[in-house]
Amino acid sequence: MRVLLVYPQFPKTFWSYEKVLELVDRKVLLPPLGLVTVAAILPQEWEFKLVDQNIRPVQVEEWQWADLVILSAMIVQKDDMQDLIVRAHNYGKPVLVGGPYPTALPEEMRAAGADFLVLDEGEITLPLFVEAWKKGERSGEYRSEGVKPDVTSTPIPRFDLLDFSAYDSMSIQFSRGCPFQCEFCDIIVLYGRKPRTKTPEQLIKELNYLYELGWRRSIFMVDDNFIGNKRNVKLLLPVLQKWQEERNYPFAFTTEASVDLAQDQELLDMMVACRFEAVFLGIETPDADSLSLTKKYQNTRDSLSDAVDQITAKGIRVMAGFIIGFDNEAPGAGQRIVEFVEKTGIPSAMFGMLQALPGTALWFRLEKEGRLLNNNAGGNQTHLMNFVPTRPIEQIAQEYVDAFTHLYEPHVYLKRIYRYYLKMNAPSLNMKFTMPDLIDLRALATVIWRQGVKRSTRWLFWQNIWGILRHNPAVLTNYLLSCAHNEHFLYYRDIVKQQIEFQLSAGQKEEVAV
Ligand code: SF4
């Protein structure tokens, strides 16, 4: 049995980081962890090939080779997913679909002609498919009917199927689910509010496998809320710290967490000791009313800016997500977000207009209120909202574009990151010096050439370097990393502006035509 696993292409998003990836000679930020986990759950006597369309398209011989094509995607990948179903059928191959997009919108997959819909979490539904396939069934739909699998029995993902040279980071997962109840969040719909974790030994086996396969770059712990189950995280971290120490800290970790991380100094210290270097926080908005309305109560308990400062002071770089367009939001929300980002100095502030994802509490509320417009939501920052907001869409969109443009204006950006890195502490891990590889050295030279010679901000760039060398030299690498990110943001803010303005003018033309 020959299985071709294909990961559909992403549109360009805030997170696609093309310009940064070019610098380090990589094609994609992260690999398809879901598909390599699927390969590990299926019978191991089957043969597997994996093609990530974000690296290269599927070749004719690969389509011909396959007995079955498996696709997994998020909603944001829907266009390529639908195209791949058609292409697989053109080669006469049956198609199995799974992952967040088919699980949220199975009707779209049925309409696209997928043969097998293996929905929810694969640990439960893939064995049902295998049983049916072995009996000769050639179509079917499998759901877990509300049962959540115990992830302690999830096998080690088949990382060997990945082309390591194409990815900037590897992904691993410790937990699924989150205890909070944010109205717009689809994680709690997909994975529930009771976080389920792997065992420390299980995670270490995954790291050992990556290490044996030769991986030596960073690792993204893809849990949507790494600290959802703090007790189990605190059992993991000492084991992880020991593993890292014994190997001279081969991996730098990044993850996502809720802002209450800042309240737990012990947990922060433990993460730092394991070499967690960055964390993504869902701050969403500094407007307390909007946070309460969207049921993000955990962000209303303490000062959000203090939380950012506390995490930064430990030496963990904060990235944060912001949303504009909540119900009853007062005009000026975009400017308030800018003020918050400027005050805290957060270098990477991801920003988007609120989208209602299928199946979320927000989706059902808006459906009841007759305000949903379409299914085209899914994490892309260049889309207008997919529902009717409580203030004019033109006003929200303009605030969004203005805020995005301002935050990534090169002078504003360099001044902000300078302030940020002056207040960041550099953790002192007992790491032996290792020579950076040639690709990283070339990337560094390119950043210095572009930022320090070519750009109009070159004087500011050098002034900042001088200031950092004098006051906080240990964070120089972080500063240069954020300068490299600016290469992407500069290019991406123009895409946001063009696409939002295009959609607004197209909408206005439609209204005139009506
Ligand atoms: S904290 Fe994050 S993962 Fe948890 S419910 Fe809220 S948005 Fe979802």
Tens digits of residue pLDDT in 342-387: 999 999 999 899 999 999 999 999 999 999 997 666 556 778 899 9
Ligand 1 centre from 328 Cα, in Å?
Answer: 21
Cα dihedral 472/247/240/425 (nearest 10): 0
State residue 22's pLDDT score. 85
State residue 380's pLDDT score. 66
Residue 323 CB less than 6 A away from ligand 1: no
Rounded mean pLDDT of 382-403?
Answer: 93
406 within domain boundaries: no
State residue 250's pLDDT score. 96
Rounded mean pLDDT of 83-88?
Answer: 98
Q: Which of the four pLDDT bands, split at 50, 70 and 90, describes residue 430? A: confident
State residue 431's pLDDT score. 84
On the question of pLDDT at 152 being above 70, the answer is: yes
Rounded mean pLDDT of 122-141?
Answer: 97
Q: Which of the four pLDDT bands, split at 50, 70 and 90, describes residue 13? A: confident
Question: pTM to 2 decimals?
Answer: 0.93
Closest CA to 305 of 340, 352, 276: 340
Rounded mean pLDDT of 416-426?
Answer: 94
Residue 374, C-beta contacts closer than 8 angstroms, at least 6 positions apart: 386
State residue 502's pLDDT score. 86
Domain boundaries, position 80 = 2-142
State residue 16's pLDDT score. 73
Rounded mean pLDDT of 330-351?
Answer: 96
The residue with greater pLDDT, 378 or 439, is 439
117 within domain boundaries: yes
C-alpha distances out from residue 375 to 100, 322, 381, Å: 14, 21, 15
253 within domain boundaries: no
Q: Number of folded domains in the chain?
A: 1
Ligand 1 centre from 323 Cα, in Å?
Answer: 13
At 126 the three-state DSSP class reads helix
On the question of pLDDT at 451 being above 70, the answer is: yes
Residue 180 CB less than 6 A away from ligand 1: yes
150 within domain boundaries: no
65 within domain boundaries: yes
State residue 168's pLDDT score. 94
Ligand 1 centre from 277 Cα, in Å?
Answer: 21
State residue 272's pLDDT score. 97
State residue 491's pLDDT score. 79
Residue 320 CB less than 6 A away from ligand 1: no
Alpha helices (H) along 330-431: 333-344, 361-368, 393-407, 410-422
Phi, psi for 389 (deg, rounded to 5): -80, 175
State residue 336's pLDDT score. 97
State residue 366's pLDDT score. 96
Helices 265-273, 230-246: axis angle to 10 degrees equals 30
On the question of pLDDT at 433 being above 90, the answer is: no
Residue 178 CB less than 6 A away from ligand 1: yes
At 473 the three-state DSSP class reads helix
Q: In a mutational test of the pocket of ligand 1, which residue from 285, 296, 350, 360 has the highest number of ligand atoms less than 8 Å from its CB?
A: 296
On the question of pLDDT at 514 being above 60, the answer is: no
Tell me which residue has its CA closest to atom 8 in ligand 1.
Answer: 185
| Type and span of the H or E element at 320 | strand 317-324
Closest CA to 102 of 89, 119, 123, 116: 119
On the question of pLDDT at 508 being above 60, the answer is: no
Rounded mean pLDDT of 432-456?
Answer: 85
Span of 18-22, 129-133, 250-254, 264-268 with lowest mean pLDDT? 18-22
State residue 23's pLDDT score. 83
Q: Return left, alpha or beta for 136; rule: phi > 0 is left, psi -120 to 50 is alpha, else beta.
A: left
Residue 357 CB less than 6 A away from ligand 1: no
Q: Which of the four pLDDT bands, split at 50, 70 and 90, describes residue 408? A: very high
Q: What's the chain's average pLDDT?
A: 93
Ligand 1 centre from 253 Cα, in Å?
Answer: 20
137 within domain boundaries: yes
Instruction: Decide the pairing of beta strands 175-176 and 253-257.
Output: unpaired
On the question of pLDDT at 512 being above 50, the answer is: no
Ligand 1 centre from 7 Cα, in Å?
Answer: 25
> Can you read off the two tokens belonging to residue 99?
């992952």
State residue 441's pLDDT score. 85
Closest CA to 370 of 393, 387, 394: 387
Span of 289-303, 425-439, 443-457 with lowest mean pLDDT? 425-439
352 within domain boundaries: no
State residue 333's pLDDT score. 97
22 within domain boundaries: yes
Q: What is the pLDDT of residues 246-293, one digit of tens each?
A: 999 999 999 999 999 999 999 999 999 999 999 999 999 999 999 999
Residue 144, C-beta contacts closer than 8 angstroms, at least 6 positions apart: 119, 120, 121, 124, 125
Quick one: which atom of ligand 1 is closest to the CA of 185?
8
On the question of pLDDT at 506 being above 80, the answer is: no
Q: What is the CATH number of the domain that holds 43?
A: 3.40.50.280
How much of the chain exceeds pLDDT 90, in percent? 80
The residue with greater pLDDT, 356 or 510, is 356
Q: CA 321, CA 348: separation in Å to the nearest integer?
A: 9
Helices 122-134, 33-41: axis angle to 10 degrees equals 50
Span of 114-118, 129-133, 207-211, 495-499 with lowest mean pLDDT? 495-499
